[in-house]
Structure 1
């Protein structure tokens, strides 16, 4: 590359990317620009990114499909935080000679937020906070976790960590996923049950599956109708694991007690989206992975990925 290397860091919502790694010292030949506003329109995105040699993306906030990548002639390196990003067309990138690298991550951040949502729902923390600020006091009775059933759908690293906390609260932890075995369930701190049994018996159902063709819509109308009327659904994985139309009906008609959601079909959530006014919900803005420790790893590794690429020896290539 001739001249300064231009690096775009996308979706820096909080304006903190520059503070979590030493971009200037490690990349003295680079001109780094931090983009705080989310750019959803493909034409605007292409216009923004056309001059850049390197683009750093935060998780799946900004999709980079073939139709966008084919219009970025200067692009040589893509860095995504994490080692998986379904929003990047890897085949199109390879065809164009664009190297795609990933980063490590702090594995427990999303599991911790899962418990923030579970506890917030069980004790109606947001509602009671609003009531106190409005001059009121106690109006509702909280729900206990001890002795209740926690249903974990997907028992990988995140699911197993959530399961361990559930056991510490004195919950009966059950788990299911399409390929989960009794041995793996036991190793993850849970008891294997069938899909229908999990949805029918759990007081809290929490989702920790990877989104794929086989898991898309896996929480459908039938699963939601199986749930207890006093049960909560928590999703910190991917929005489209859940049939969104069925979820809307379940909330509006009271099939379930409520839902805690950190992931949405469209992000940022549009101002007029139905979930903003949905009853019995606790919403967080896809911040499961947004923690200081995770950002230190994400952005620190991103800088090292760029450095290694410029030195001719890319690392963590996807």
Structure 2
């Protein structure tokens, strides 16, 4: 049986997952991202594929090109890049893994705060200045007494909101179905959509990507923000209109942005965000921790073992 593990950028799949102990298998681990015909060639003949989050898309046309595929394992219990309906139509079982942080402080919430602090205190700019021989070149902004706006108050948004309280921030929140009672439980105040953008000193996004949320933050929303405000996105890139964000940063409509997610990942070398001012850019590190990877790859092996025994686990359905 051929098993292909995709997008192992950190080269840890074999360290954290006992793939090589699976009997009667040939395991291939790809450390670089591949797409198009190169991806089809790499997966030819594979009965099992392990995908890392949404790094590689599996649309209907790809399943059509992979007749041998029978099990697709994705790290995480949801993956918007996999067409589950097409998988089922082609007889492919899709299994997931439980992300570390589902019941404790999330690594994604922690990273959101790393970006917030880096943006508000100009950590990256000062690091670069110091290395160039300059001393104290910027003026930071206090968190205490400022307003944290949380767009999406689910599990991750709630964790971020509670940390904001620890910094003595005023916490406000909005999402389409959020109630005042649910916001209060998280220590936040429900406000209107317009007030969220107008009042936030830090606006942090914690929504799932869907047709409804794609392009939710565009030129009008960015223009409504304070010129001193920063935008943090650790959710999904397409929630924010990328061109509008670059324009706002260039014009100084907002003070900065901390981003961990992008429309296209890995972020292309020529992408305008790479040259946009007042940004802290990370390569989608929200879930990239030792505990997270250990759990995901261990469970990927469990998924394969259970499927081979005829009793698949953690099955994702359309």
Q: Same fold per TM (> 0.5)?
A: yes
1:61 corresponding residue in structure 2: 55
| TM-score of the pair, normalised by structure 2 | 0.96
1:104 corresponding residue in structure 2: 98
2:234 corresponding residue in structure 1: 236
> Partners of 2:186 and 2:34 in 1: how far apart?
39
1:35 corresponding residue in structure 2: 30
Of 159, 178, 181 in structure 2, the residue corresponding to residue 180 of structure 1 is 178
Cα RMSD over matched residues?
A: 0.9
Q: Deviations over 1:204-244 (max 9, x none)?
A: 00000011111111112111111000000000001111112
> Partners of 1:189 and 1:21 in 2: how far apart?
39
2:295 corresponding residue in structure 1: 297
Verify the 8 A CA contact 2:145 2:168 in the aligned structure 1: yes
> Partners of 2:46 and 2:250 in 1: how far apart?
46
Gap runs ≥5 in structure 1: none
Matched, 1:132 2:130: yes
> Partners of 2:242 and 2:290 in 1: how far apart?
31
2:6 corresponding residue in structure 1: 10
> Partners of 2:260 and 2:171 in 1: how far apart?
22
Residues 236-275 of structure 1: pairs in structure 2 closer than 5 A: 236-275=234-273
Residue 281 (structure 1) shift: 0.6
Q: Deviations over 1:109-153 (max 9, x none)?
A: 110000000000011111111111112211112111000000000
> Partners of 1:66 and 1:22 in 2: how far apart?
30
Residues 82-101 of structure 1: pairs in structure 2 closer than 5 A: 82-101=76-95
Q: Secondary structure at the match of 1:306?
A: helix
> Partners of 1:207 and 1:307 in 2: how far apart?
37
| TM-score of the pair, normalised by structure 1 | 0.96
Of 185, 191, 197 in structure 2, the residue corresponding to residue 199 of structure 1 is 197
2:187 corresponding residue in structure 1: 189
| Residue range with higher mean Cα deviation, 77-86 or 130-139 | 130-139
1:73 corresponding residue in structure 2: 67
Q: Deviations over 1:259-287 (max 9, x none)?
A: 00000011101111111111111100011
Residue 60 (structure 1) shift: 0.3
> Partners of 1:81 and 1:195 in 2: how far apart?
33
Of 12, 23, 47 in structure 1, the residue corresponding to residue 41 of structure 2 is 47
Q: Deviations over 1:45-73 (max 9, x none)?
A: 11110121100000000001111110111
Residue 24 (structure 1) shift: 2.7
> Partners of 1:273 and 1:96 in 2: how far apart?
36
Residue 249 (structure 1) shift: 1.2
**Corresponding pairs, count:** 312
2:274 corresponding residue in structure 1: 276
Residue 312 (structure 1) shift: 0.8
Verify the 8 A CA contact 2:5 2:30 in the aligned structure 1: yes
